[in-house]
Amino acid sequence: VAGDNGAHAARLQVIATDGVPNYFGPQRFGRDANNLRSALRWFDTGVKPEDRQQQSFALSAARSALFNRVAARRIERESWNRLLPGDVANLDGSNSIFDVPEVDDTLIRRCAELDIHPTAPLWGRGELRSRGAVAEMEQGVAHALATVASGLETAGLEQERRAMRMRVQSLEWQWDGQDLLLQFRLNRGCFATSVLRELVGKAEELPGDES
């Protein structure tokens, strides 16, 4: 790793304390984003990939790209790591979610402690669970990616939610010259590449990433 070791250590401490955006990593989209390209061809032409596994990869990539776009929008607005009225919150380390019609001191504290996280949609059929300005923003992103959103709905996927922030657990590091050795744990479904990305910068743009 190039650069000042002290600056990297300070950044690692922030990551350990505050978590990082829960982006879907580049492997979700396939080499050269081929899984996403496959989904767009499907949605444009109506012709599915012949292999059922490839269909699954394509749908997952399209859904992930829309999620990343919503997360990037919340990062732009500096609200990816705090709850807003109308949000849907996720209980850390679980699939449990609950509505947040209003934000009170207890929710602010729990969010700051990484006990709960704001969520973004995994797009599909049905009504968004979010409300108010949060729902309007999410619908705006879906409208901008109308081919993706409508393709996911037509394919039969249902609306779900995913945390926009991941907690980086048991983060430890040590230096061996300019080699940085990292050890950490993540909840199921999170991407280690998204943690590294926050440390070393954008090695590559992720589909949907505008941050």
Q: What is the pLDDT of residues 41-63, one digit of tens each?
A: 999 999 999 999 999 999 999 99
Q: What is the pTM of this model?
A: 0.92
Q: What is the pLDDT of residues 126-177, one digit of tens each?
A: 999 999 999 999 999 999 999 999 999 999 999 999 999 999 999 999 999 8
Strand partners, 160: 122
R_g (Cα) of the chain, nearest Å: 18
